[in-house]
Each structure stands twice: as C-alpha cells, then as structure tokens.
Structure 1
Amino acid sequence: MSRALHLTVLALCLVALVGLSSGGNAEAGRKMVGVYELKKGDFSIRVTNWGATLMSVVLPDSKGNLGDVVLGYDTVAEYVNGTAYFGGLIGRVANRIANARFTLDGKTYRLFPNAGNNSLHGGHRGFSKVIWTVKEHVGGASPRITLYYHSFDGEQGFPGDLDVYVTYELSTPYVLNVRMNATARGKATPVNLAHHAYWNLGGQGSGTILAETVQLFASRYTPVDAALIPTGRLAPVAGTPYDFRAPAAVGARIGGVPSGYDTNYAVDGADEGWQLRRVATVRDAATGRAMELWADQPGVQFYTSNGLSGVRGKGGKVYGRYGALCLETQGFPDAVNHPNFPSQIVRPGQVYKHHMVFKFSF
C-alpha cells in the first residue's frame, strides 16, 4: 500500500473515532482520537491528540472581536493527510539532520530521509503523525491537558525508548503555557522537540503577515547551505536582512532573503543556563493583537510559511505564501553533527525539558 493511500485509509478510520470533549478526565476516550477544548473566559484553545496538535487559539482583538490566530484545519482527518505540520508537536528531533544520519557513542544511526537526502522533523512519521494518549484534561482556574507518547527503540531510526509528555495550560491574563518533557530509557538519544504553530495575529486566513511587526532577541543566527543544513557557523545578524533586534515589519527585508525566512536564531543569553528568557514579540497593527514568546531553549526557528500555496484551511479559508509565521523554539538544527552546537543528547534516565510561554495582549 502506498504511503498516500495508507494515510487516506487512516483518515477515513479516524473520522469514525473523532469526538468532542470539553471537560472531565477523558478516561473513557483516552484511546480515541478526539478534539479537546480549554477555555478561560473569552480565551480558548482546541487540541487534538493526533500529533498533540494545537488546532486553534481564539482571543479578542482591540475592539473585543474574537478571532482564531493559528492556521489549521476543521477536522482531524485533514491533519492526518496534511503536510504543513500545522500546530503539531515535532520530534523526536525537530528540523533537519544532514544526510539522515549521525554517530553517537561510536555507532552510526541511519534515519528516514524525508527531505531529499536529509531527515526533517523526525522523519516521515514523526511525533506530529501519531496518536498520543490523553493523561489529563481538566477545567477550573487553570484549564490544562496533558498528552503522552511512547516512542519505541528504533522508531524512524532513533535509538532507545523515549517517554514524551506535553501539557497545554491557560492562565491569566491570556497566557498559554506549553511544557514538554521526555525521558530516555535504555539508550542515549538525541531529543529536540518543537511546537509548530502557524501564527497570524490578524486572524487565520486574513492575508499575509508581511505587515506584522516582529522583534527577535537574538544577535546571531546559524547560516545554512542550499539544502537548509547549518554550516556549523554562528554569524552576527547586524547588517543583514536577518536583523530583527529592533522591531521591524516582516516584509521590510524579506526581499533580501531567498525564498523567505526559514532561519534558526541563537537566542541571546541562552549560554547562561536553561531558564525562561524573552525570545520574540509579534504585533498586528490592524487588530491591536500582540504576542510575546518566552522559552528556555537556545534557538528559535523563524519561518514565514514560504511553502504554503493554495492550502484550504479552517472555514474554507485558503492559505498562501507568507500567510503566517512560525516561532519554533528548539535546539540548533543538525546539532548531532556539529559538536560546537549545544548538545541535544539525553542519556538514560535523564529528562529533556522545554517550556514555552505565549503572552497575548490587545
């Protein structure tokens, strides 16, 4: 059976399973694929345990009008067949690994190449393309949902078993926390989880993000070759189109970047330890919405959805190039092949941790 036919059959099977849940502990439906809502006043999100995917983020604008600010689909079945990683939890290793291979403790591991000769976002069946288990889904003052996935030894070529958790939680005022952790079992393994939400603060399907203002708290970036594999260097952003140290419109310098931004930035202060630090701010003048991102990872991938073209999303909206931006906090791409990059190796019994905080205002 071809991969495309397999995914189509799986999508049809999921249609029969998908349910809607808005509270409780989700015990009865934990082995099903469902859609779960977290709501705090006029601030709400929807999550599915297919790929631990964030399906929607709804919040007001400056006039009190509610809008969904992430791109995606209306149904889980569409996520199964989708190729854009809308809102997915990416792993075991996000971004690219050169030649789909790496050597660890003297042994060479060969991965699934799904981006030319390279591995991208964990392979053809990464963590955004599997069913997670709902461990907790509660309301109250801080509504949250926790999802779990067991990645087996050898999955997509990666060594060792890995127990992975992600928690989405809403807090006041208009704050979304995303907490990820993973524990290695039996063997050392690289781990680099990332969250792949596509943001448009003007509202999903409202047009491009070229007029949105972005500030990145990063003085350096990791240059790449033609296949988007890092060269191993860290270069200053000063004097280049990659410089967003001061707030600037996304479209202000994009003409100087071939194909648009798809760039890993080294977050300032990351070498001082693994604590939360401000990563980026985004503002949309038309709606008055703003987003501030904090995280504890050394890098952030700034992506301007260069590959979107005629994708039919939620409510029949059609997403095109530059229809959203992604801010994926992460370890540096291809770190397993660059000893000078911050290590992503997790030893047996060690716990990988990754915390993102999205603070919204309007």
Structure 2
Amino acid sequence: MARPRPLLALLCACVAALASAGAPNVAAGRKMVGVYELNKGGFSIKVTNWGATVTSVVLPDSKGNYADVVLGYDTIAGYVNDSTYFGALVGRVANRIANARFVLDGKVYHLFKNDGNNTLHGGHRGFSQVIWTVKEFVGGGDSPYITLYYHSFDGEQGFPGDLDVYVTYELASPYVLRVRMNATALDKATPVNLAQHTYWNLGGQGSGDILHDTVQLFASRYTPVDSGLIPTGVVAPVAGTPYDFLAPTPVGARIRQVSGGPGVYGYDMNYAVDGEPEALRKVAVVRDDASGRALELWANQPGVQFYTANLLPNITGKGGAVYHQYGALCLETQGFPDAVNHPNFPSQIVRPGQVYKHDMVFKFSF
C-alpha cells in the first residue's frame, strides 16, 4: 500500500549519523533525525528515531563471518518513503482494525483507512512515520541502550486520548537484544497495541529467501482470518492445519497451503502464545542451517504475528540488495488483531493512569 512522504526535505537536510560507540548520553528533547549505534563486542545494532526503527543488526555466523541480518535501507529517506514497515515500531494499534472503527464506552471512533476499508498499523501516519525524541543514549559499555519517546495527541489518526510512549533498545549479555515498550494513557481510555516490525533473514539481508529456515512457534492456537486478513473471532487449534509450527518446521514446507491475502501464498497470521498471560515466555525459535545462526524470542504479549514477507515487491535495500518475496520473516509480538471489535479477545484498552507494558527478548546464537 502507498505510504505518505512527510518531512522528506527536512530529513534530507538534518539527518545525522551518530554512530560512535560509547558516546555520551544525548540530552532530552533532541528532535533531529539521526542513526544511533549500540555496540557490544561483536554484536551491534543501529536505530533511528524516525519511527523508532531498527535499521541493522550485525552478528557473526558459525564461521565467524559477520552479516547484517535485518532488511532495510541505506538512508533515512528510504524509511520515510517505505511501505513495508522495515524495522519500525508500529502503533498506536498494530495490525488491522476492521472497517477503521470501534466502539469504546458507548462512543464510536472512526480511524484513518490505509488498508482498503481497514486501518493497518495505526493509520497512514502511525508511530512508524513520526520523529521520536531521544531521551537517553549510551552507545557502548556493559549495557548499551537507547530510549526513545513519543507523545501521541488526542485524536491522532482518530484514536482517543493523549498517550506517552517509550521504547528502549538494549544490548545485554552475550548476543541478547532487549526491547521494552510502555505507554501511559493520560486522560481518556484508548486501545494500545505496539509491535516491533523487524524483517529477519539470519543468512544475511539480501542473501535469498527464508523458506529453508526452520521455525518453531510455542502456540497451539491461532486466530483464523477472512479474505481481508481480519480475524473471524474464533481462536482455533493449529493441530492438523498448515499453521502448526509446534515442532521445528521449514518455513516452506506447507507455505503453498496458506493464503497471505488475495492471490498470495504465505503466512500472515496471529498465533495465541501458550503460557501464563503477561508472563515473559518463549514465543519462537528460528534457525538458519547455512549460517548456523539462530534466534530465540521471548515476550509477554498474548499473540505473535508470523509474516513471511509475502508482499515484498522486489525492493532495493541496503548495499543495492534486492529483496524479493519471502526474503525475510517477521515475528511481531502483540495483542490479538482487531481486538477492539472482538470482546472475547484479550483487551487492549488502557485507561487513564494505566500503563501498557510490552517486553521482548531476542537471544541470538551461532
């Protein structure tokens, strides 16, 4: 789907590459768009405050060869013009809201339509398409981290109430990336469902498709969707379906049996994660045998969207690499899609003074 191009001239003029490990804390209030590197030994990531976006994750493989394992662009301008949500933090409500409307406390709210008749990832100018404020940045040391802040105003994209949103990306003991998101509703009840939308290719960005990667999802149920990828409201068992990844399974083993939208094969499905609600628990394991790299994901959300880049339209990315269909996979921990219109789904409503908390832990090995 087409995306807007706000602030492009401004960004081209003011982008700053702030990439030195061990740089001092950045003063609160900085609104210039920059790229910030966190570095811990042989492990580094880069983040931009445009959309609180992860632009690179560099790791060794089993032979000691380094590669960037996330898809993206060489310049900030690429992210401004992006329609894929590469690496972005999406919200106020990630995923789809049917008919771009919901009812809360007896009032009907109408949202911006940017996915046919529906709202996707917060609307045409959601959290992935705004400048976040850098509150703290420590590029090196034992626990390099960056904390970003965004104030979402009452009525933004149609959502009610003022909302203060924070995300922290932190490198922890060896090859662990922690992501902590929280949001406080200030004056009105509002739905909140943030998601981190990085596209992973453990063989290295631009290295080919992920169909031979093995995936294990710790989810025995999923939320079936209609032809518009809107949940039907049913929470069904994965057993006996092509959506069953309870045992490690190659991504491509059954991919031709599932629809990723009209005329497209592939996974684009929310899974109900097993385990105690709100507890940090194992969500998924991905392995790339060719490189020896593996990713283990833990999170505290009820769902995870498994997406196999079915709609990746031959985009030119970093270093001139061309990203084709199935060139990466996404694991977006989240609340259930369209929960505002399904009372049987876990609620995403945050009331004034309450704090939404979303924690993710990526553990890499090779």
| TM-score, length of structure 1 as denominator length | 0.97
Task: Work out which of the residue numbers 262, 266, 273 in structure 2 matches 1:260.
Answer: 266
Query: Corresponding residue for 1:273?
Result: 277
Query: Corresponding residue for 1:82?
Result: 82
* 2:51–2:129 contact (8 Å) kept in structure 1: yes
Question: 1:18, 1:154 → 2: CA distance?
Answer: 29
Matched, 1:311 2:308: no
Question: 2:291, 2:85 → 1: CA distance?
Answer: 26
* 2:29–2:133 contact (8 Å) kept in structure 1: no
Query: Corresponding residue for 2:47?
Result: 47
Query: Corresponding residue for 2:13?
Result: 16
* 2:28–2:134 contact (8 Å) kept in structure 1: no
Residues 215-254 of structure 1 correspond to what in structure 2 (within 5 A)? Answer: 215-254=216-255
1:271-294 deviations in Å (ceiling 9; x for gaps) = x33110000000000000000000
Partner secondary structure for residue 62 of structure 2: coil
Partner secondary structure for residue 292 of structure 1: strand
Question: 2:109, 2:277 → 1: CA distance?
Answer: 29
Residues 104-119 of structure 1 correspond to what in structure 2 (within 5 A)? Answer: 104-119=104-119
Query: Corresponding residue for 2:67?
Result: 67
Partner secondary structure for residue 225 of structure 2: coil
Partner secondary structure for residue 56 of structure 2: strand
**Aligned residue identity for 1:98:** A
Question: 1:109, 1:241 → 2: CA distance?
Answer: 36
1:26 deviates by: 2.0
* 1:59–1:68 contact (8 Å) kept in structure 2: yes
1:29 deviates by: 8.1
Aligned residues: 356
Question: 2:223, 2:40 → 1: CA distance?
Answer: 39
1:88-119 deviations in Å (ceiling 9; x for gaps) = 00000000000000000000000001001000
Residues 187-198 of structure 1 correspond to what in structure 2 (within 5 A)? Answer: 187-198=188-199
Matched, 1:93 2:90: no
1:27 deviates by: 2.2
1:28 deviates by: 8.3
* 1:39–1:45 contact (8 Å) kept in structure 2: yes
**Aligned residue identity for 1:205:** G
Question: 2:223, 2:63 → 1: CA distance?
Answer: 40
Matched, 1:331 2:335: yes
Partner secondary structure for residue 7 of structure 2: helix
Query: Corresponding residue for 1:207?
Result: 208
1:267-324 deviations in Å (ceiling 9; x for gaps) = 011xx33110000000000000000000000000000000002100000000000000
**Aligned residue identity for 2:7:** L
Question: 1:231, 1:33 → 2: CA distance?
Answer: 40
Partner secondary structure for residue 252 of structure 2: helix
1:172 deviates by: 1.1
Question: 2:269, 2:233 → 1: CA distance?
Answer: 13
Question: 2:12, 2:62 → 1: CA distance?
Answer: 37
Question: 1:129, 1:85 → 2: CA distance?
Answer: 9
Query: Corresponding residue for 1:288?
Result: 292
What is the identity percentage for the equivalent residue pairs of Structure 1 and Structure 2? 77
1:12 deviates by: 2.7
* 2:29–2:135 contact (8 Å) kept in structure 1: no
Query: Corresponding residue for 2:262?
Result: none
Query: Corresponding residue for 2:120?
Result: 120
1:42 deviates by: 0.9
Change in CA separation of 1:255 and 1:347 when aligned onto 2, cut-off 3 Å: same
Query: Corresponding residue for 1:57?
Result: 57
Query: Corresponding residue for 1:300?
Result: 304
1:30 deviates by: 1.6
Matched, 1:321 2:321: no
* 1:11–1:78 contact (8 Å) kept in structure 2: no
1:20 deviates by: 1.4
Partner secondary structure for residue 79 of structure 1: helix
Question: 1:219, 1:113 → 2: CA distance?
Answer: 32
Aligned-residue Cα RMSD (Å) equals: 1.2
Question: 1:12, 1:163 → 2: CA distance?
Answer: 27
1:225-249 deviations in Å (ceiling 9; x for gaps) = 0000000001110111000000010
1:323-359 deviations in Å (ceiling 9; x for gaps) = 0000000000000000000000000000000000000
Partner secondary structure for residue 15 of structure 1: helix
Unmatched runs of 5 consecutive residues or more in structure 2? 260-264
**Aligned residue identity for 2:174:** P
Question: 2:136, 2:10 → 1: CA distance?
Answer: 24
Question: 1:81, 1:29 → 2: CA distance?
Answer: 25
Question: 2:12, 2:37 → 1: CA distance?
Answer: 18
**Aligned residue identity for 1:317:** A
**Aligned residue identity for 1:327:** L
* 1:38–1:170 contact (8 Å) kept in structure 2: yes
Residues 121-140 of structure 1 correspond to what in structure 2 (within 5 A)? Answer: 121-138=121-138, 139-140=140-141
Partner secondary structure for residue 151 of structure 2: strand
1:123 deviates by: 0.2
